[in-house]
Amino acid sequence: MKLDLKKSKLRQINEKLQTVGIKKNQRIFTIINPEGNHAICAGLKDDIDVTIKGHTGYYCAGMNQNASITIDGNVGTGVAENMMSGKVHVKGNASQSAGATAHGGLLIIDGDASSRCGISMKGADIVVKGSVGHMCAFMAQSGNILICGDAGDALGDSIYETEIFVKGKVKSLGADCIEKKIENKHEKLINKMLQESGIKNLKSSQFRRYGSARNLYNFKIDNLSSY
């Protein structure tokens, strides 16, 4: 089914997608003329497939549950913010805070992601085929981020238990973030994420692993300048 944002209001289209229901046969939708609108496909709950033909604004696919959403363009701030499950695939570049606070699901970004990608994430998987900006995974609590390009300043600043894998160069590490050894279980995880995101020309041995040094878990006066 084709949904046209020039002919229907965003609220009407979102409401239709939010209330599809498991008993309805229509499961595949295409949204045309998005024209940078904000909050397209926010709050979807059903196992449906939505393709957005064009660029979107802020918080596209926010709070997603179960739906598979593809954006044929670039996205603004906070794509897949607070996503619970499902899959969001951005075929262009993403602005800042992509996947922020996401609890589950898979976010794939074919291009680059700006600053604060994956901040405070709580269990999702994020794959960036390009590079990320500064403070990626700031205060990220759990989940995994796979970066096929480079990472900007303060990678993993104040990180908890999220795993970060980077193929390219890291400009600098944030507070309490260190490089760690890649074990067999991490190699399997990397290969799984590469496969799920359709990347066939890379392998786990090309990536380095970063995570928490766990020095900031409990307050220590000697670490005061790092808090």
pLDDT digits 0-9 by tens, 19-45: 987 666 789 999 999 999 999 999 999
Hey, is 222 helix, strand or coil? Answer: helix
Q: Are 91 and 127 within one domain?
A: no
Q: Are 185 and 123 within one domain?
A: yes
pLDDT score of 68 more than 70: yes
- The pLDDT of residue 141: 96
For residue 105, is it within any domain? no
Q: Are 90 and 118 within one domain?
A: no
DSSP track, 152-184? -TTBTTT--S-EEEESS-BS-B-TTEEEE---H
Q: Are 156 and 49 within one domain?
A: no
Nearest to 193 by CA among 102, 119, 92, 87: 87
Cα–Cα distance for residue pair 203/114, rounded to 1 Å: 24
- Other beta carbons less than 10 A from residue 196's beta carbon: 14
- The pLDDT of residue 20: 85
Q: Are 58 and 131 within one domain?
A: no
- The pLDDT of residue 226: 59
Q: Are 126 and 224 within one domain?
A: yes
List residues bridging with 166 in a β-sheet: 147, 208
Q: Are 59 and 127 within one domain?
A: no
Q: Are 34 and 131 within one domain?
A: no
Q: Are 116 and 91 within one domain?
A: no
Q: Are 127 and 46 within one domain?
A: no
- The pLDDT of residue 112: 98
Cα–Cα distance for residue pair 19/34, rounded to 1 Å: 20
**Domain range holding 8?**
1-77+86-95
Whole-number percent of the chain with pLDDT over 70: 93
pLDDT (mean) for 164-179: 97
Q: How many structural domains is the chain composed of? A: 2
pLDDT (mean) for 148-155: 98
For residue 181, is it within any domain? yes
Q: Which tops the pLDDT comparison, 217 or 184?
A: 184
For residue 175, is it within any domain? yes
For residue 30, is it within any domain? yes
pLDDT (mean) for 155-182: 97
For residue 192, is it within any domain? yes
- The pLDDT of residue 221: 63
Q: Are 129 and 225 within one domain?
A: yes
For residue 151, is it within any domain? yes
For residue 142, is it within any domain? yes
Q: Are 125 and 91 within one domain?
A: no
Token pair listed for 110: 């074919």
- The pLDDT of residue 15: 93
pTM above 0.85, yes or no: yes
How far CA 110 is from CA of 46, 70, 124, 182, 194, in Å, comes to 24, 11, 17, 24, 12
Q: Which tops the pLDDT comparison, 218 or 205?
A: 205
Strand ranges, E, within the chain: 2-4, 28-32, 49-53, 68-71, 87-90, 106-109, 122-128, 142-147, 163-166, 177-180, 208-212
- The pLDDT of residue 26: 84
Nearest to 138 by CA among 116, 115, 106: 116
- The pLDDT of residue 222: 67
